[in-house]
A = this chain, B = another copy of it.
Amino acid sequence: MFLRVDKLQIELPAPAQQDVNAASALQELLGGKYGEMSTLGNYLFQSFNFRSKSKLRPFYSLVAAITAEELGHVELVSNGVSMLANGPDEPGADTVGPTDITGAPFEMMKDARLAAGFLSHGGGAVPIDSNGLSWNKDFVTTTGNVIFDLLHNFHLECGARLHKLRVYETLSDPTGREVCGYLLVRGSVHAHAYALALKQITGVEIEKMLPTPNIPLANIPESQKYLEEGSHRRLYTFSPEDYREVAGIWGNGEMALPDDPPGELEVVEGMPEGGKIQELVGEPSAFTPDYAPEEMYEIATKLYKASR
């Protein structure tokens, strides 16, 4: 089972301006082969399909716990996408009076790289990559063979790191860069964790291959605050009570990777503190949340009061 908390893993800075192509670039980290839907999908189904769970508890718990974090990564990238696609919130924009739609108010959208992002989703995120292609089951490897699945996951996290770096290099807006800066740190934790798991079973010190690509996180300004608070040394259980056995793999005296700020690896029960979710103020002329939403707001207010 899963519980949901109405927060993002970090609070994202507001976008400097609307940039739908930047939003489309960020989609690579959502629905691409090496995006967050893929890390989520792999670990989700691997954890469902895990064999001999009780005998292999620490390995099962590792995959299961990271799955829950990946859900939040999907959420984080999705929020980044819709924030970039819609631009900075303009308070009150969703309560304008009669809206004129006759002057082709969204003409620029016909030249947007992925026009369906507006036409179909009103600027929202969907599980597609930066070329508009759907995430799909070909991105999921779940064989039931523990060593192979872990090796796959290690490769997946390295690929995800490369893609985050490249997306980062295309973005000048603070929103998207923050998404990348944070996920680079957390992705490194996952790559490191799968490496340690593989080392436990096979004896191969595969964590020495990290970081791949070989650029230290110290080079990414947006990653610094997360490194400083030690995020790269923490594995969260993302559970009220379960998955503590990950400490058999992440811990045990293992230390941070040489390129990163030093210190011992630690398991944190539960989740990070998190940050506020963007409001995403509606745009009546785009029919979000509606063309003439006032009455809807009134009803919602009444229901809200009734719920307390």
**Count the A residues whose beta carbon is within 8 Å of the partner chain — how many?**
172
Pairwise interchain contact A107-B170, C-beta atoms closer than 8 A: yes
Pairwise interchain contact A3-B2, C-beta atoms closer than 8 A: yes
Q: How far is the CB of A25 from chain B (nearest CB, A)?
A: 4
Residue from B4, B137, B304 in contact with A135 in the complex, judged by beta carbons closer than 8 Å: B137
Residue of B nearest to A129 (CB): B116
Beyond A78-B45, A206-B204, whether A8 also contacts B2 by CB under 8 A is no
**Is A261 close to B, CB under 8 A?**
no
Number of chain copies forming the complex: 6
**Is A231 close to B, CB under 8 A?**
no
Residue-by-residue, is A18-48 near B (CB-CB < 8 Å gives 1, otherwise 0)?
0101101100100111100000010011101
Beyond A55-B297, A137-B31, A144-B289, whether A251 also contacts B307 by CB under 8 A is yes
Residue of B nearest to A123 (CB): B144
Q: What are 25 A-B pairs at a CB distance below 8 A?
A: A1-B9, A2-B2, A2-B3, A4-B65, A25-B115, A32-B119, A45-B125, A48-B124, A49-B121, A49-B123, A53-B277, A55-B300, A71-B71, A107-B171, A119-B166, A121-B143, A124-B142, A143-B159, A144-B288, A145-B213, A151-B158, A213-B287, A213-B291, A245-B304, A251-B306
The 3 closest A-B pairs by CB, nearest first: A248-B303, A49-B124, A122-B144
Pairwise interchain contact B48-A82, C-beta atoms closer than 8 A: yes
Pairwise interchain contact B303-A249, C-beta atoms closer than 8 A: yes
Residue from B5, B48, B65, B168 in contact with A240 in the complex, judged by beta carbons closer than 8 Å: B5
Q: How far is the CB of A246 from chain B (nearest CB, A)?
A: 7
Residue from B126, B139, B290 in contact with A45 in the complex, judged by beta carbons closer than 8 Å: B126
CA distance A120 to B280 in the complex (A): 29
Pairwise interchain contact A57-B300, C-beta atoms closer than 8 A: yes
Beyond A209-B198, A245-B304, whether A49 also contacts B159 by CB under 8 A is no
CA distance A201 to B293 in the complex (A): 10
Residue of B nearest to A26 (CB): B110
Residue from B4, B57, B170 in contact with A238 in the complex, judged by beta carbons closer than 8 Å: B4
| CB interface residues, A 89-139, toward B, < 8 Å | 94, 100-102, 104-111, 113-116, 118-139
What residues on B are CB-neighbors of A113 within 8 Å?
111, 113, 115
